[in-house]
Chains A and B, each alone.
Chain A
Amino acid sequence: MAKELIRLVNCQMAFDDEIVLDSINLYINDKEFLTLLGPSGCGKTTTLRIIGGFLQPTSGDVLFDGERINDVPPHRRKVNTVFQKYALFPHLDVYDNIAFGLRIAKLPEDEVDRRVTEMLGIVSLKGFEDRKISSLSGGQQQRVAIARALVNRPKVLLLDEPLGALDLRLRKDMQNELKRIQQAMGITFIYVTHDQEEALSMSDTIVVMDKGKIQQIGRPEDIYNEPKNAFVADFIGESNILDGIMRADRLVEFFGRKFVCVDSGFEKDEPVDVVIRPEDIDIVAPDAGHLCGTVTSVTFKGVHYDTIVDFKGFKWLIQTTDFCPEGSVIGIRLNPEDIHIMHKSEYSGMFGDYSSYSAEYDEIADPEYTEEEDDSESREEERNEE
């Protein structure tokens, strides 16, 4: 079913010797919803502009249906774009903006009218036909931009943060609407967003980018559950990231304790990053836990409490529906499947710490593994490197 439509091969982009995209390799299947996710300035818009034809990669190829399209100008590509800055035509009203592409394609005027009217309904802008662009709010302009691109029913739609200016409610509605249209019309979406929740809920595939490089490509579940490095773990959701050492397959040591986990394929005694999601941590009585710590702050977040717990100097974030008052002493339990192991990367030690770190911690009750306490020295050194 999945037929490859677009492929970027070793694409590199440099502006005056400053490399903003570095060896991007990526393929996008027909009818896929692919999201580029990453912090500001990581090169998302640049990637879209390369696909749209507004930029030529400094090196590397862009393939469409297997054909190299590096030199095909934008107007000859079967791609439409919802621009990050809207780029609506100020000399045309809402209706004529949306009709622009259809008129260029020389569609009969009754067909144009039918499709524009339908589109106005979809983006909830009925009655705004004759309004000037400058008289619209940011969110309304953004919806005109979506309508102007979508009305052409392109094979591929590039959307550069198309919902950024909308309030939460409208944003959710538009998310559903876009997803519905994408599936109903079978359009390939390449979607850019900062918003990890939006990416997780809408995409078939997520591409996590940082500093011009792809950090990870995968299905939303894989990205969330199996982040490849500390950057991805931190950017997608909250994470406690600890230094650990892989003692054997499915056995990791951190905090001077050994824990059973589900990951294997690491070298023996390889230093690793250990990710523990704040919502996976079970709070138990102090004496029944693997670790025991003191609550230092509690923030009510609606669905849960963000609870910061001090495990003898290293602070963890725990998301729980149980209210534990500040100062209380709690224990936690970690199940093997809640512990995710990653190789060390350039991002190790940069994320996932909810406090300033202190290397000293006391031993506490550890039900499973109590022997071998000799490597706390080396752990200390690792951390001090940062």
Chain B
Amino acid sequence: MRSKLLAAPYLLWMALFAIIPLCVVLYFAFTDFYTGAFTLANIIKLADYLPIFAKSVWLALISSVICLIIGYPVAYYIAGRSPLWQRLLYMLVMLPMCMSFLLRTMAWVAMLEDTGIINSVVKAIGLQPLPLIRNDAAVILGMVYNYLPYMIMPLYTVIMKIDRSLIEAAQDLGCNSSQVFRGVILPLSLPGIISGFTMVFVPAISTFYISQKLGSPGTTLIGDVIESQFKTAYNPNLGAALSLGLMVIVFICVAIMNRFSTDDDEGGVVTL
């Protein structure tokens, strides 16, 4: 009873700022811009945007995987330091997040553009300028750079909590260090991998700013399209339908990822 009472403000918040907006989105997605009558036209139109959806999923997926590959060793390293170093390194990881997201992305533009810092150096030593910006790689770089801390945080938390005695037990039972990793550390950090993956994937799939600044027209992502529906094309009904489509995709992806963890909880074995 008491706990219900304590949760009341949050429930109210949820109702005001999550459920009601969702209803508004649903309303717009299924109505006509001019008449306001019910229509499936917006939803049907989503089919035109399938390639963009696919591209968004693809780039977000690649970014998440790269974040995992970079982030896991970093998190593992930090978790193994002394408490003082842990705090220091963790701060260092978090530090970029203290700066504006826009500023960070703009900084990359300044570095990568044809007349940017890197290419100035390249030109100064007499080479052709490199195509560093306005391509997929630059967008992925922007995503990885911006969202990497979201991968490291949950991984670090989970790895840090792994009981050292379990590692000793595995060694005692004959595991060399790579077997300890595969048999004990990796399976026990699976929850961290899943939440880190989710925390990178979800913002990456819906981003619009990164792709606008670092990408080309060919790397237009679903977030960009949604933004333009509200700001330039002024078709909020299609925008709402696109948002809905994005939401469904995110839900599906998160559900798939969570299956991994629940499977494991039910006694799945990671083979050595």
- Residues of A at the B interface (CB closer than 8 Å) are 52-54, 73-75, 79-81, 83, 85, 87-93, 96, 100-101, 103-105, 130, 132, 148-149, 152
Decide: B176 and A75 in contact? CB cutoff 8 A.
Answer: yes
Decide: A104 and B179 in contact? CB cutoff 8 A.
Answer: yes
Chain A residues within 8 Å of B26, by CB: none
Q: Is B23 an interface residue (CB 8 A)?
A: no
**With the chains together, A88 CA to B163 CA distance in Å?**
10
Question: Which chain B residue has the least Cβ–Cβ distance from A94?
Answer: B267
**With the chains together, A85 CA to B163 CA distance in Å?**
11
Decide: B179 and A85 in contact? CB cutoff 8 A.
Answer: no
Q: Is B184 an interface residue (CB 8 A)?
A: yes
Decide: A105 and B269 in contact? CB cutoff 8 A.
Answer: no
Decide: A104 and B272 in contact? CB cutoff 8 A.
Answer: yes
Q: Specify which of A74, A93, A148 lies most central, judged by the most chain B CB atoms within 10 Å of its CB.
A: A74
Cross-interface CB contact of B269 among A73, A90, A92, A152, cutoff 8 Å: A92
B43 to chain A, nearest CB (A): 43
Question: Which chain B residue has the least Cβ–Cβ distance from A78?
Answer: B174
Chain A residues within 8 Å of B163, by CB: 87
**With the chains together, A74 CA to B175 CA distance in Å?**
9
**With the chains together, A340 CA to B187 CA distance in Å?**
59
Cross-interface CB contact of A104 among B165, B183, B190, cutoff 8 Å: B183
Q: Is B114 an interface residue (CB 8 A)?
A: no
- Can you sample 27 A-B contacts with CB below 8 Å? A52-B172, A53-B171, A54-B168, A54-B171, A73-B171, A74-B168, A74-B171, A75-B172, A79-B172, A80-B172, A87-B165, A87-B166, A87-B168, A89-B169, A89-B170, A91-B187, A91-B188, A91-B270, A92-B267, A100-B173, A101-B174, A104-B173, A104-B174, A104-B183, A132-B267, A148-B173, A149-B173
Chain B residues within 8 Å of A89, by CB: 166, 169-170, 184
Chain B residues within 8 Å of A91, by CB: 184, 187-188, 190, 264, 270
Taking CB atoms and an 8 Å cut-off, the chain B residues in 147-203 that contact chain A are 163, 165-166, 168-176, 179, 183-184, 187-188, 190
Cross-interface CB contact of B175 among A79, A83, A93, A104, cutoff 8 Å: A104
Query: Known contacts A90-B188, A93-B267, A104-B179; is A75 also within 8 Å of B171 by CB?
Result: yes
A196 to chain B, nearest CB (A): 27
Question: Which chain A residue has the least Cβ–Cβ distance from B188?
Answer: A91
B170 to chain A, nearest CB (A): 7
**With the chains together, A103 CA to B272 CA distance in Å?**
8
A111 to chain B, nearest CB (A): 15
Chain A residues within 8 Å of B176, by CB: 75
B153 to chain A, nearest CB (A): 22
Query: Known contacts A74-B172, A75-B174, A101-B173; is A83 also within 8 Å of B165 by CB?
Result: yes
Chain B residues within 8 Å of A87, by CB: 163, 165-166, 168-169
A56 to chain B, nearest CB (A): 14
B176 to chain A, nearest CB (A): 6
Q: Specify which of A80, A85, A88, A89 lies most central, judged by the most chain B CB atoms within 10 Å of its CB.
A: A89
**With the chains together, A87 CA to B165 CA distance in Å?**
6
Chain A residues within 8 Å of B168, by CB: 54, 74, 83, 87
Decide: A75 and B267 in contact? CB cutoff 8 A.
Answer: no
**With the chains together, A90 CA to B168 CA distance in Å?**
14
Chain A residues within 8 Å of B270, by CB: 91
Chain A residues within 8 Å of B264, by CB: 91
B106 to chain A, nearest CB (A): 44
Chain A residues within 8 Å of B174, by CB: 75, 101, 104-105, 152
**With the chains together, A73 CA to B173 CA distance in Å?**
12
**With the chains together, A9 CA to B168 CA distance in Å?**
24
Closest 6 pairs between A and B when the two form their complex, measured CB to CB: A101-B173, A87-B169, A87-B165, A74-B171, A104-B174, A91-B187
Chain A residues within 8 Å of B183, by CB: 100, 104
A116 to chain B, nearest CB (A): 13
Chain B residues within 8 Å of A53, by CB: 171
A188 to chain B, nearest CB (A): 16
Chain B residues within 8 Å of A52, by CB: 172
B179 to chain A, nearest CB (A): 6
Known: A93-B267, A96-B269. 17 other contacts (CB 8 A): A52-B172, A73-B171, A74-B171, A75-B171, A75-B173, A79-B172, A80-B172, A83-B165, A89-B166, A91-B264, A92-B269, A100-B173, A101-B174, A103-B272, A104-B174, A104-B183, A104-B272
A209 to chain B, nearest CB (A): 22
Chain A residues within 8 Å of B175, by CB: 75, 104
Taking CB atoms and an 8 Å cut-off, the chain B residues in 231-272 that contact chain A are 264, 267, 269-270, 272
Decide: B165 and A152 in contact? CB cutoff 8 A.
Answer: no
**With the chains together, A81 CA to B45 CA distance in Å?**
65
Chain A residues within 8 Å of B184, by CB: 89, 91
Chain B residues within 8 Å of A85, by CB: 165
Chain B residues within 8 Å of A104, by CB: 173-175, 179, 183, 272
A317 to chain B, nearest CB (A): 40
**With the chains together, A79 CA to B171 CA distance in Å?**
11
Question: Which chain A residue has the least Cβ–Cβ distance from B269?
Answer: A96
**With the chains together, A200 CA to B166 CA distance in Å?**
31
Cross-interface CB contact of A83 among B169, B187, B188, B190, cutoff 8 Å: B169
Question: Which chain A residue has the least Cβ–Cβ distance from B270?
Answer: A91
